Amino acid sequence: MEKWEGWLKIRYESELDQDFAGEIASVPGADKLFTCIQCGTCSGMCPLSPFMDYTPRQIIAMIRAGFKGEVLSSYTTWLCASCYSCTVECPKDIKLTDIMYAAKRLAIREGAYPKRFPIPVLANEFFKSVEDTGRSNEGRVLIKLYLKTKPLNMLKQATLGLKLMLRGRFSLKKEQVQGRDGLHRMMKFLEKEHMVKTKANSIAQKEAAV
């Protein structure tokens, strides 16, 4: 975590985004958001909550109240490692992991994610690599990640890379599917189809083009 952002801020209702909860809840699997009883089981189960700026329970409350800016720029959603402990244990069957994903996607689409935080950068690089070749190229993606976030870390990781290479576990060879053209057509078709309709779609397309 790069800096401490302080506890939940007080906001006037007029400053909150009244559409935010609806936007998130429209995502398949996120519709039970409004049934949350704020019991905190999710935060208790979450192995990452001690490291988060807002706990999962707080995030749900904030989404419902309309703290859009805070949620989309939080570290919490990105620290979620998709272990599904909260989803499995939630007494109201709320799919918290899906809600975290919905917030991540919106943050990427609107460019609101914490800049230079390595996790969204990794997600973007991984995404681009797979969209291009149909397969993930671990080595190439990691190098791009380090170049874009902490170039000095690459030196620290060099020994690890070398040890992996010696054991045949690391390669920079480009893996790709044969049916690449078909895959590209599929992805192009879905380009404009977002599960969440937002006014910021144009920003997303600009981002995707970069």
Partner 1 sequence: MSYIYYPGCSLKGTGRAYEESLLAVFKALELELEELHDWNCCGATSYMSVSELKAFALCARNFALAEKQAKKSGTTDLVVPCAACYLGLNKAKKYLDQYPDIRTKVDQALATANLSYNDNIRIRHPLDVLVNDIKREDITAKVKRPLNGLNVACYYGCQIVRPYAEFDDQENPQSMNVLVRALGAATVDWPLKTRCCGGSLTGTVQSVGQQLSYFLLREAIRRGADVIVTACPLCQFNLECYQNEMSGRFDAPVHIPVLYFTQLMGIALGIGDRELALQRLFVPFKPKAIMRQVAGGANVGN
Question: What does the binding site for partner 1 look like in residue numbers (CB under 8 A)?
Answer: 1, 27-29, 47-48, 51, 79, 81-85, 87-88, 97, 101-102, 104-105, 108, 118-120, 122-124, 126-127, 130-131, 134-139, 142, 145, 160, 163-164, 167-171, 175, 177-179, 181-183, 185-190, 193-195
125 alpha carbon, distance to own chain's centre: 12
- Minimum Å gap between C-beta 199 and partner 1 is 18
- Minimum Å gap between C-beta 66 and partner 1 is 22
203, two tokens: 């920003």
Q: Closest CB to partner 1 among 91 and 182?
A: 182
Could you tell me the CA-to-CA distances from 18 to 24, 73, 174, 182 in Å, in that order?
12, 17, 46, 41
| Residue-by-residue DSSP string for 4-59 | ---SPPP--GGGS-TTHHHHHHTSTT-GGGGG-----HHHHH-TTGGG-SS-HHHH
Q: Closest CB to partner 1 among 53 and 65?
A: 53
Q: Closest CB to partner 1 among 74 and 137?
A: 137
Calpha distance 159→119 (Å, rounded):
22
- Minimum Å gap between C-beta 17 and partner 1 is 21
- Minimum Å gap between C-beta 86 and partner 1 is 10
Residues in contact with 123: Cβ distance below 8 Å, sequence separation at least 6, in sequence order? 104, 108
Q: Closest CB to partner 1 among 58 and 85?
A: 85
**Residue 74 near residue 28, CB atoms below 8 Å:** no
- Minimum Å gap between C-beta 14 and partner 1 is 31
